Amino acid sequence: MLSMQNFGDNGKMKDYHYTGPVEHRFSPYAFNGGTVLAVAGEDFAIVASDTRLSEGYSIHSRDSPKCYKLTDTTVIGCSGFHGDCLTLTKIIDARLKMYKHSNNKTMTSGAIAAMLSTILYSRRFFPYYVYNIIGGLDEEGKGAVYSFDPVGSYQRDTYKAGGSASAMLQPLLDNQIGFKNMEGVQHVPLTKDKAVQLVKDVFISAAERDVYTGDALRICIITKEGINEQTLPLRKD
């Protein structure tokens, strides 16, 4: 897509008499918005994303979820540049198949996270413009969340928000799930139903204040029984 930099930049008055050459810059990236969130519990994990695909002032689609199922116990959420999200998930799927064929077993969440780190770093000098969060169950059946930066740095967390509204959601999660820096509060472990309710509330708030988040919410709940998907409408404006 052509970068929009030449179209009436920043409200400056264009010079009517200018007829010389204009430099057009091609940007290989676009920002398609979207927010992803993942929460890990004792024996479950939740990965949720909104379903709005936007670019600039337009909405391309209201039904483009950003969670992709990788295995029966792992879901990845990718936001950022949609083109790179699609290619990256295709590459991960292919690598999962290769691993399955050579090692005769499915990749665990931790292994997928380590592999994704090297895949992202292999493009260190022309990065995948994607913010990834992997949610799933580890080998012991406990919930695991792995969050990444665009070039592959990753770590395991209990909860993480990524994408356009991440800076709004992360503090709320720090308060409600992490009980960070709160005095005199009892740390109750998070139940699955409470976590799902929290995720819904948090996205409703994000849709209020972030233009790139909205339309619908897709929640994937991962337990040892399998992956359960729910869809909830959000603000469409």
Q: Which strand (E) or helix (H) includes residue 175?
A: helix 166-176
64 or 166: CB nearest other proteins: 166
Whole-angstrom CA distances from 19 to 11, 14, 16, 22 are 20, 11, 8, 8
Count of residues near other proteins by CB under 8 A: 44
Which amino acid, 181?
N
Query: What track of x and - describes contact with other proteins for positions 52 through 91 (by CB under 8 A)?
Result: ---xxx-----------------------x---------x
CA dihedral over 115, 118, 120, 123, signed as positive or negative:
negative
Which amino acid, 179?
F
10 or 104: CB nearest other proteins: 10
Q: How far is the CB of 57 from other proteins (least distance, A)?
A: 7
Q: How far apart are CA 57 and CA 214, in angstroms?
A: 14
At 211, is the secondary structure helix, strand, or coil? coil
- Given candidates 61, 103, 155, 197, which one binds other proteins under the rule CB under 8 A? 155
Q: How far is the CB of 180 from other proteins (least distance, A)?
A: 9
Query: What track of x and - describes contact with other proteins for positions 91 through 130 (by CB under 8 A)?
Result: x--xx--x------------------xxxxxxxxxxx-x-
Q: Of residues 159-188, which lie at the interface with other proteins (CB under 8 A)?
A: 166-167, 181
- Given candidates 62, 71, 157, 235, which one binds other proteins under the rule CB under 8 A? 157
Q: Count other Cβ atoms within 10 Å, centred on residue 53.
A: 21
Q: How far apart are CA 150 and CA 135, in angstroms?
A: 17
Question: Helices 82-103 & 109-121, crossing angle to 10 degrees?
Answer: 130
Residues that bind other proteins (CB under 8 A): 3-5, 7, 9-10, 25-31, 55-57, 81, 91, 94-95, 98, 117-127, 129, 147, 149-153, 155, 157, 166-167, 181
